[in-house]
Amino acid sequence: MILPINPTINRDQFTDNEFYEFCLANPDFRIERDKHGQIYFEIPTGTKTSFRNADLVADVVIWNRQTRSGRVSESNGGYKLPDGSTRAPDVAWVSNERWNAATAEEQDKFAQICPDFVLELASDKYEVDWLRKKMKKYLHNGVRLGWIVDPSAQQTIVYRPDHEPLTVPFAEALTGYEVMSGLVLQMSELME
């Protein structure tokens, strides 16, 4: 398969606008890039994983509608992080303060802000190591709370700055701590 790339684009290192145009030209792919410009293609998830992700997004959206404290994105929402990488977490929440700091032009493309909260849902047990590395990079960029949801191990790994990762079994409730006050999710109900 050949991916469309405008011939005037420098293929070695896209500018932010060129990367955005590249993503638009390839809408069938979920595309991210790291701080060095390396591009990563993510395959579509299995149907069960998609159902689980939709439930997670819905619960965070419901909490956010009650608090009106920010904005929620799903796995197609890209963010240009401070280290230069562009990432699209499975679920992200951005506080009103951070969202309003982005310009209107940034908000229309890949907003140059770091979400306050990110959630990555592991499709299988082999993906968890990659997601751990990714979560450390999110924290380095300013994420205040991160979750790796691992259905195969029936647990969520919780990340917060200046704290060791905490493993929470699905049988226990997860909270949004001070970052997302009032958010409580019971993974055992969502990951059936």
Strand 155-159 and strand 39-42: the pairing is: unpaired
pLDDT, tens only, 77-97: 999 999 999 999 999 999 999
pLDDT, position 12: 58
* Cα diameter, the chain: 53
pLDDT, position 27: 75
pLDDT, position 24: 79
* Parts of the chain with a pLDDT under 70: 1-12, 43
Residue with tokens 């992080």: 81
pLDDT, position 191: 78
pLDDT, position 39: 79
**Structure tokens given for 58:** 């819905």
Domain 44-190 fold is tt1808, chain A (3.90.1570)
CA–CA dist 69, 75 (Å, integer): 20
Give bridge partners of residue 30 from the DSSP assignment: 42
Cα atoms in the Cβ-side hemisphere of radius 13 Å centred on 151? 16
What sign results for the dihedral spanned by CA atoms 189, 63, 142, 138? positive
Buried b (16+ CB within 10 A) or exposed e, 63-75: bbeeeebbbbbbb
**Whole-angstrom Cα Rg for the chain:** 17
CA–CA dist 17, 37 (Å, integer): 13
- Quick check: helix, strand or coil at residue 190? helix
pLDDT, position 59: 96
Do residues 156 and 149 make contact, with C-beta atoms less than 8 angstroms apart?
yes
* pTM for this predicted structure: 0.84
pLDDT, position 5: 55
